[in-house]
Structure 1
Amino acid sequence: MPPPRLRPYLLWEAVLLVGVLVAVPLAAGSDEDAPWLLAGDIALVGFLAGAFALSLRTGTPNLAVGGLAATGGVLTAGLAEVGLTALVGVLIFGAVAGLSMVALVVPLRLPAWAVSTAALALLLPLAAAFSDGRIVGLGGDGALPGVGVVLLVTFGLGSVGVALWWQRAGSGGRWTLDGPDARLRPAMVGLLATSVVATVGGALIAFWQGAATPGQPPQVTLAVAAALLGGTGVRGRLAGVAGTALATALVVSLHRWVEAETYPPAANLVVGLLAAVGLIAGAVLSRFTTNARNAPERPKAPVT
């Protein structure tokens, strides 16, 4: 039997799984290219959803994910040659942006949501300046070289893996952070790592679409809804990998199906409703988890 504190999450993930089993076949349809396109959209949105969920999990919400993705896309598309230079530029930009936010959050004790909101207000005009306010094509067929795919995905997922390990190691008591340093670990995980992943995600979206737009990619809205629907707690400490993955597949599939089969503007309304459901679900899961954690242990029966 799973621990009591995990049972609400498992039940919610089972509900999401049922929704995925219904929504994915509807979105895939009868077009032979639809499953491939759907899988690509789910992967890209999941990349960004994982970054946003990780920032919420650490209690340092990175609300600049959309601006980072937009800037990463136009920065990649604007470079003359798509190769190692583009990859290095994207990674450096994401790291510098994340470190800049960490430098404000930790020493000055500013809330992460305020710093990342200010960063979003700065990054979106910066993306428009990089692209002269127009759509920037990548040239050719927009395909990312094989080495680029490997480097981008490996570095992005590696950043998440190292961040999770660091967070787990610190909370496991292997070292103790006191004073200002107590804010450093979650800030490095929630802001630095997710900034790199979000910037890489913007580059991948540009390669997938063959062009980059100066505004926030629409995948970001889907990613935020997926992170919330997956059961991520907005107050920190609560997040699930499986729930985020299932919610991503559900949100993308429903958005794609509603956009194709019904009134297209209603697709964004559906995403907003799913985000609202996710907020409520996260609050309920948080309450159940807290109650289960604080419940007294049952006395063990005497051995006879």
Structure 2
Amino acid sequence: MVFTPAQPLAPAGPATSRSGGSFRPHLVWEAVLLALTVVAAVVWYSQDGSRLSPLMFNIASAGLLATAFALSLRTATPNLAVVGVAALAGLTYAEVLDAGAPVVVAAVAAIAAAAFIGLGMGLVAGLLQAPGWAVSLGGLALAQGILLAATGSGGPQRLAKEGWIRSDGAAAGWLVLFLLLSIGGAVVWSIPAVRRALSGNRVVAGEPPSPFGARLLGAVIGLGGSSLIAGAAGVLLTGRLGGTTLSTDINQLAFVAGAVLLGGVSVAGGRGGFAGTVLGVVLLSLVQMTILVAEGPWWVSTVVFAVAILAGLGVSRVLEALQPALPASVPVAGPAEPPRKY
């Protein structure tokens, strides 16, 4: 009689989720952010509560850029070119208006141009399997070069009066658009199937790399979608200022990154809360407006944004650590096979 040992159980395929976990830590942090925002609102109102329209415009324009950056960060393809794409969209808006086109046509053309740029960056990142930050950094430099070449020595281009966006009603409308895109997009992202489909570029130790197609899709949606939203922000910024800009606003990029990271969107991608980006934008906008009203030095706002970025990185790390551990593999359950007799 000969006994053979039982065959070991074969492990199942990877059971990790690139975007799984609980939303509870994010909701707790968003409650903290809400409390901080209320305090900042009280301070601002005590100094300049009568000037609501400028604050609404500031929140709407910065919020659209933050929503764009948050989308790219969730897909793990951070789009550093959002401010450059927005500036190019504003230039397109002014040029098409100057050619005699209606405002709606000019706005659509500007947003479409921004989406086209983002699609190009997404294809480059996806086909080359290159990190989004590197590709978009090149896109930011290219946008700066195009702006300088287009404006030349003539300075900023003045916008046709019909293209101005300055009424209180317009401020409220753009603010609602920001809230819908930010919170609505976060709700859509909370659907597990959506997170799994678009988180292919998230890289975490112990997790296997995603297939090429998944990474390509995530890059195209992340960089393309974020550029499209940035195009809308560019239309609003140009309409609000009444003219184009000569260069990209790096200070605005610091604001956007600080708001998104402070809002709890994971720096590793894949994870994020619901209202964190909105609260981060409103909080930093209130702080910025309070500094301006108090006639503080211009550099103070920049320091605040830098602190927000660093604090946001810490928030991202803590929220990641509070997520439940996910095993690399799960063994097949079932009774052990008894020894065989021969």
Given the two structures, how large is their TM-score scaled by the length of structure 1?
0.81
CA contact (8 A) 1:256 1:267 kept: no
* Shift of residue 268, structure 1, vs aligned partner: 1.4
**1:226-245 equivalent positions in 2, closer than 5 A:** 226-245=259-278
One-letter amino acid of the structure 2 residue matched with residue 135 of structure 1: P
SS of structure 2 residue aligned to 1:137: coil
Cα separation, partners in 2 of 1:290 and 1:67, compared to 1, 3 Å: farther
- Larger relative contact order (C-alpha < 8 A, sep ≥ 6)? 2
Match of 1:275 in 2: 309
1:48 equivalent in alignment to 2:65? yes
* Shift of residue 235, structure 1, vs aligned partner: 0.8
* Shift of residue 164, structure 1, vs aligned partner: 4.5
Match of 1:64 in 2: 81
Match of 1:143 in 2: 165
Residue ranges of structure 1 left out of the alignment (5+ in a row): 295-304
Match of 1:297 in 2: none
Name the CA distance, whole Å, in 1 between partners of 2:87 and 2:54.
21
**1:1-304 equivalent positions in 2, closer than 5 A:** 5-29=22-46, 31=48, 33-79=50-96, 80=98, 81=100, 83-132=103-152, 134-140=155-161, 142-143=164-165, 157=181, 161=185, 164=188, 169-171=193-195, 179-217=211-249, 218-261=251-294, 262-291=296-325
Cα separation, partners in 2 of 1:288 and 1:94, compared to 1, 3 Å: same
Name the CA distance, whole Å, in 1 between partners of 2:25 and 2:116.
39
Residues 65-112 of structure 1 show CA distances to partners (whole Å, capped at 9, x for unaligned) of: 111011112221233045233123212211211121122122222222
Bigger mean CA offset, 72-81 vs 241-250 = 72-81
Match of 1:298 in 2: none
Residues 167-201 of structure 1 show CA distances to partners (whole Å, capped at 9, x for unaligned) of: 8545568xx9x842111321122111111111211
Name the CA distance, whole Å, in 2 between partners of 1:12 and 1:189.
27
Name the CA distance, whole Å, in 2 between partners of 1:167 and 1:57.
13
One-letter amino acid of the structure 1 residue matched with residue 70 of structure 2: A
Name the CA distance, whole Å, in 2 between partners of 1:165 and 1:56.
12
Name the CA distance, whole Å, in 2 between partners of 1:35 and 1:288.
38
Cα separation, partners in 2 of 1:21 and 1:165, compared to 1, 3 Å: closer
One-letter amino acid of the structure 1 residue matched with residue 76 of structure 2: G
Residue ranges of structure 2 left out of the alignment (5+ in a row): 1-19, 201-209, 328-342
SS of structure 1 residue aligned to 2:114: helix
Between structure 1 and structure 2, the one with the greater Rg is: 2
CA contact (8 A) 1:62 1:191 kept: yes
Aligned positions, number:
284
Match of 1:299 in 2: none
Name the CA distance, whole Å, in 2 between partners of 1:163 and 1:67.
28
Bigger mean CA offset, 192-201 vs 210-219 = 210-219
Answer 1 or 2: which has greater helix percent.
1
Which ranges of 4 or more aligned residues in structure 1 deviate by more than 6 Å? 144-147
CA contact (8 A) 2:122 2:221 kept: no
Bigger mean CA offset, 3-12 vs 70-79 = 3-12
The alignment's C-alpha RMSD in Å is 3.3
Cα separation, partners in 2 of 1:171 and 1:224, compared to 1, 3 Å: closer
Residues 197-225 of structure 1 show CA distances to partners (whole Å, capped at 9, x for unaligned) of: 11211111111222221222454332221
One-letter amino acid of the structure 1 residue matched with residue 121 of structure 2: M
